[in-house]
Structure 1
Amino acid sequence: MSGLFTLGLVEMADAVADGSVTALALTEVALKRLETLGPRYNAIMALDGGTALEAARGVDRARAAGQPLGPLAGVPLAHKDLFYRAGRVCTGGSIIRKDFVPDVTATALERFDRAGALDLGTLHLAEFALSPTGFNAHYGHGLSPWNTAYGAGGSSSGSGASVAARLVPAALGSDTGGSIRHPSAMSGVVGLKPTHGLVPAFGAMPMAPSLDTLGPLTRTVRDAARIMSVIAGPDPRDAASLPAPRLDFEGGLTGDLKGRTIAVPGGYYREATTPEIQALMDAAVAVLKEAGARIVETGTPDMALVNALMQVMMTVEAATLHRRWLSERPQDYGAQVRARILPGFGLPATRYAEALMLRAGITREWLAAAMGDADMALIPTLGIPVPTIAETTQGTPEEIGAALGRVTACTRGINYLGLPSLSVPCGFTANAMPAAFQLVGRPYAEPALLQAGDAYQRRTDFHARLPPDCGPVD
């Protein structure tokens, strides 16, 4: 029975649908692994096993009765603790919200419910989703299943660790400056940051609404495509959720990239990349070329400007959301989080307005320089090997800030541009930690990114490797 933990999300859904496994069996295995291994990686906030088991029995009864099943029926999942479910505590990784009980359910969770997925509980995250490594002064650091001296990546740390350790086959995360892609890269799993607004953010704790995106962390690109087919699409309750073209996320997963062109930008992204990571990027490009893609080299616009404008938007919007709490309860913030929000109070309104007004033009400039006529661009997710927890928490504030800046160098600008990005594991560095590339596309290019990522995974096995000490739990 314990071998069920090796199944991916699509495999689990197919197995429940054809009757080769029960939803109850899958849920029992997942709960046991979450309860046993989850604390080892500080991946769990709260589990609700009783409700999940009863829901699993309901799926099994429906199948036995010949009733139609949803595309995720019987699949056990857990999610970052910023997705609201009515009547359930949602901490947002903070002590300020440790007793907050929302009266609404996030759109994404409602769509999972309708698809038949099972919700086992909530997963660790950085305080108020404000750390690229998974640091949390109140609940402890999210730990990597590959080596607990390293962070799992943040802010969706529990999502990354839980998928990597095979506690659940997939989990939702949020991404404001890389918070899906950091944990996916640092934990060795797939992470998709969709086009801004493609997945409704209603019912998810915001950090900077103009940048926030919601998306999946999974073991395989195919699993991410299945999730996107469930959670994407407009919702009138979310002002940023705009009508989008109807996208087929799974139909193009053929393994063939003939006719696709992938740009490889130099300049800023190469300068932000160590030789060890660059070698892995070059190897990934070779695999994609073998799959039929045409590779072209391109440049980049002024990324210092892109990153600066992104920082303005993030800090001003975060300061606006946290103004009352920072005034009334400053002691209830971790020092690192408080220091990241406070600069937002000192920026003039004209600077924020400038960041908004320049956004569309700078996005066009980035696409022209980094992609040109290509279908997508390939850049590192992290340009450096995964740092240890000590390297990102010890030292002067300036030293810590510089270390965190190196982690986010290749991700944060993409949020300002509002573009989709798919992070895919592509090997390991000398410290035995995972590395990843990201494929960035034009708005609503998710099907093309998924097609390329899937073609890569059909020819490699990095996504299939299991971290040490994550085997069966008897």
Structure 2
Amino acid sequence: MLSKNLVGKAVEELAPLIEKKEVSPVELTEEILNHAEATEGKINAYMEIYHEDAIKDAKKAEEEIANGNYRGMYHGIPMGIKDNVYFKDKVTTMSSKIHKDFVSDYDATVVAKLKNAGVVFTGKVSMHEYAWGITNNNPHYGAVKNPWNLEKIPGGSSGGSGAAVAVGSSVASLGTDTAGSIRIPSSANGIVGLKQTFGRVSKYGVYPLAWSLDHVGPMTRTVKDAAGLLQIIAGFDPNDPTTVDVPVDDYVGKITGDVKDLVIGVEEDYYFKEVDSEIEKLVRAGIQKLVDQGAKVQEVKIPTLKYAEWAELITSLSEASAIHHSDMLTRPDDFGHDIRMLFELGELPSAVDFLQAQQVRRQLKHDFRRAFEHVDILAMPTLPILPNDIGDDWADLNGKKVDLIDNIIRFMGPGNLTGLPALSVPCGFSQGLPVGMQLMGPAFGEAAILNAGYAFEQTNPLENRKPDLLVNA
């Protein structure tokens, strides 16, 4: 069958073609797999490609659709998932040495839901070891490359997901986010990433980094793709005591693109301080594009933000080190150097430090709740800096050398500490690299930020540009 150039298309474009039987899940899956295998040597996004299984699943999807059993937007859509999400009878390594042979005997809840929706799984995608890092420069399996510039990091920890979606080797993906691990690579790779409200999506069967900060969420080409994926994975799960039993919104149906009278909050003191000047310009222009469509802007104050970095760090370090404490005692040399150092650091905070951090967290939630009494959503840069060179621990901030990790997670942590939904949408390019704008909403307010993200996306901020490896596919 001749190629229809399906690689690089969004789910929202592909789904109607599949439903109308104009495109078969088999031909789509074959094109995606061929492209994944052709680009893998340069990008290194996958841990394992399930070629035979994917073709088999695609044939099953094709048969179901031919028989009139179309299951919805993601039926027959090929996608890889992050390698800390359990998949029955498949190796789930967490991109680590310690778990390199770990095979789960059950599916994560999100995988079970995706299987039920008819998704075709192309394989497991790479991540920063144990999800505890933001570069995806993995000492055991090699660095994942940014498709826009192969010398640059793709962000992490869901860097394989971000790079795979950006380069077209996966139509969509799932990532996890503890201190920005969905939003960082989404910004760095020019895709859409959603960290939904804590408790909105089950984490059952997902290897934890920090129990009270972890989220699982969509990484996709478009906002509608993210809405459709959230629609599938959202909902209460008795297997995960942190999930909340509130109704699941019609996320796709509520995307109208109408932002007339939407009130956008801007917190200048934290989210627009120490930001790359070109990134700031792009994000402010993005907010203006929403204003041009009828939205209003109002400045807000969230005073506790000045303590958020400290509180997030104490919480994530302490929880992550507790999870890996036993292995750190018995096999410390099997961890990558960078995360081993973080796990050692995590042994240092006292119970007093941890509990004080939780008090900051409580006050931060209160401050955000007060802000959302006056505005509908908040807008800010996703990252204050551009992706740096692979292997470099420093980033450039307006001509200054600054610590990469501190800066890349600065605007991420508040979303994890509060559990509030946050969406990263592409808003343009600087030095040939994508830049993201972040939209945050009140608890369970995903519909509002998705709709605002969609309204902005319609202004074509990426100007239809694609990475060279995708253009030449």
TM-based fold match above 0.5: yes
Report what 1:75 is aligned to: 77
- Give 1:285's aligned residue: 287
Structure 1 residue 309 displacement after superposition: 1.1
Q: Structure 1 463/253 Cα, relative in aligned 2: closer, same or farther at 3 Å? A: farther
Report if aligned partners of 1:298, 1:372 keep a CA contact under 8 Å in 2. Answer: no
Contact map agreement 1:392 1:400 (CA 8 A) in 2: no
Q: 2:303, 2:171 → 1: CA distance?
A: 38
- How far apart in 1 are the matches of 2:470 and 2:323? 39
What is aligned with 2:127? 125
Moved more, 98-107 or 66-75: 66-75
SS of the counterpart of 1:267?
helix
Percent identity of equivalent pairs:
34
Alpha-carbon distance between aligned partners in 2 of 1:407 and 1:342, rounded to the nearest angstrom: 21
Task: Tell me, yes or no, if structure 1 residue 263 matches structure 2 residue 268.
Answer: no
TM-score normalized with structure 2 length = 0.95
- Contact preservation (8 Å) 2:79, 2:171: yes
Query: Does residue 50 of structure 1 match 2:52?
Result: yes
Report if aligned partners of 1:192, 1:217 keep a CA contact under 8 Å in 2.
yes
TM-superposed CA distance for 1:355, in Å, is 2.7
2:245 is equivalent to residue 236 of structure 1: no
State the distance in 1 between where 2:332 and 2:467 align. Answer: 39
Match of 2:405?
A: 404
TM-score, structure 1 length as denominator?
Answer: 0.95
- 1:297 CA displacement: 1.9
CA contact (8 A) 2:262 2:294 kept: yes
User: Counterpart of 1:334?
Assistant: 336
Q: How far is the alpha carbon of 1:291 from its aligned partner?
A: 1.9
Residue number in structure 2 paired with 1:303: 305
2:327 match: 325
Aligned length: 467
Higher helix share goes to which structure? 1
1:426 aligns with 2:432: no
Q: CA deviation at 1:357?
A: 4.4
- Secondary structure at 2:17 match in 1: helix
- Aligned with 2:37 (options 35, 39, 42): 35
> How far is 1:358 from its partner?
4.3
3-state SS of paired residue (2:142): coil
Structure 1, gaps ≥5 residues long: none
**Partner of 1:247 in structure 2?**
249
Cα distance change on mapping 1:14 and 1:463 into 2, 3 Å: farther
Counterpart among 195, 199, 203 of residue 197 in structure 2: 195
Which residue is equivalent to 1:25? 27
Partner letter of residue 219 of structure 2? L
CA distance in 1 between partners of 2:270 and 2:360 (Å): 20
Provide the rounded CA distance (Å) in 2 between the counterparts of 1:21 and 1:416: 43
Cα offset, 1:197, TM superposition: 1.4
Partner of 2:108: 106
1:139 aligns with 2:141: yes
**Aligned amino acid, residue 162 of structure 1:** A
What is the root-mean-square deviation of aligned Cα atoms in Å? Answer: 1.7
Deviation at 1:137, TM superposition (A): 1.6
Equivalent position amino acid for 1:471 in 2: V
- 1:439–1:52 Cα change, 3 Å: same
Query: Could you list the per-position Cα deviations for residues 335-373 of structure 1 after superposition, in whole angstroms to 9, with x for gaps in the alignment?
Result: 11111121221222232233334433321113435x551
Q: Tell me what 1:384 maps to.
A: 385
Q: Which one is further off, 356-365 or 151-160? A: 356-365
Note if contact 1:291-1:456 (Cα within 8 Å) is conserved in structure 2: no
How far does residue 469 in structure 1 lie from its aligned partner after superposition? Answer: 2.6
Which runs of 5 or more structure 2 residues have no equivalent in the other structure?
A: none
Name the structure 2 match of 1:435: 435
DSSP 3-state at the match of 1:378:
strand
